[in-house]
Structure 1
Amino acid sequence: MSDRPASANATQDGVVLLHGISRTARSFSKMQAALEGCGFATLNQDYASRRKALEALAEDIHPSIQRFADGIDGSLHFVGHSMGGLLARVYIARYRPKRLGRVVMLGTPNSGSEIADRLKNIGAYRAFFGPAGQQLGTQRGAAIEALFPPVDYCVGIIAGDRSIYPITSAFLPKPHDGRVSVENTRLDRMVDHVVVHTSHPWLVRNSVAIEQTIAFLREGRFKPSAVITRESG
Structure 2
Amino acid sequence: MSADTVVLLHGLGRSPLAMRGLARFLTRQEFTVINMGYASRSGSIAELCQRLFHDLLPLLPTEGKLHFVTHSLGGILLRYGLQHWSIPEARLGRAVMLAPPSQGSEVVDVLRHIPFVPNIMGPAFLQLGTDETSVPLQLLKREQKQLPLDVGVIAGRTSYEPWFSPLFGEDNDGKVSVSRSRHPGMSDFRVLEVGHTFIMNDKRVRQHLLHFLRFGHFQ
Equivalent in the alignment of 1:221: 217
| Aligned amino acid, residue 190 of structure 1 | M
Q: 1:170 to 1:106 in 2, by over 3 A?
A: same
Q: 1:144 to 1:79 in 2, by over 3 A?
A: closer
1:44-123 to 2 correspondence within 5 Å? Answer: 44-69=35-60, 71-98=61-88, 99-123=91-115
Give the C-alpha shift of residue 145 in structure 1. 4.6
Give the whole-Å Cα distance in 1 for the aligned partners of 2:85 and 2:49. 9
How many correspondences in the alignment?
213
| Aligned amino acid, residue 2 of structure 2 | T
Kept in 2: contact 1:169–1:179 (CA 8 A): no
Q: Structure 1 stretch 140-149 or stretch 200-209: which is displaced more?
A: 140-149
Deviations 1:159-217 (A, max 9, x none): 01101101012212221101110000001111000011110011111111111111111
Equivalent in the alignment of 1:7: none
Query: 1:33 aligned to 2:24?
Result: yes
Equivalent in the alignment of 2:151: 155
**With structure 1 as the length reference, what TM-score do the two structures score?**
0.87
Kept in 2: contact 1:152–1:189 (CA 8 A): no
Deviations 1:93-117 (A, max 9, x none): 1114221111111000111000001
Give the C-alpha shift of residue 218 in structure 1. 0.8
Query: 1:42 aligned to 2:33?
Result: yes
Query: 1:16 aligned to 2:12?
Result: no
Q: Name which of 128, 131, 156 aligns with 2:120.
A: 128
Kindly indicate which of the two structures has a greater share of residues assigned to helix: 2
Q: Which runs of 5+ in 1 are unaligned?
A: 1-9, 224-233
**With structure 2 as the length reference, what TM-score do the two structures score?**
0.92
| Aligned amino acid, residue 89 of structure 1 | R
3-state DSSP of counterpart to 2:33: strand
Q: 1:15 to 1:171 in 2, by over 3 A?
A: same
1:179-218 to 2 correspondence within 5 Å? Answer: 179-218=175-214
Give the whole-Å Cα distance in 2 for the aligned partners of 1:135 and 1:111. 11
Give the whole-Å Cα distance in 1 for the aligned partners of 2:134 and 2:25. 39
| Aligned amino acid, residue 46 of structure 2 | E
Give the C-alpha shift of residue 63 in structure 1. 2.8
Give the whole-Å Cα distance in 1 for the aligned partners of 2:196 and 2:137. 24
Kept in 1: contact 2:103–2:137 (CA 8 A): no
| Aligned amino acid, residue 217 of structure 1 | L
Give the C-alpha shift of residue 147 in structure 1. 4.3
Give the whole-Å Cα distance in 2 for the aligned partners of 1:87 and 1:156. 16
| Aligned amino acid, residue 151 of structure 2 | V
Deviations 1:27-64 (A, max 9, x none): 11111111111111111111010111111111111133
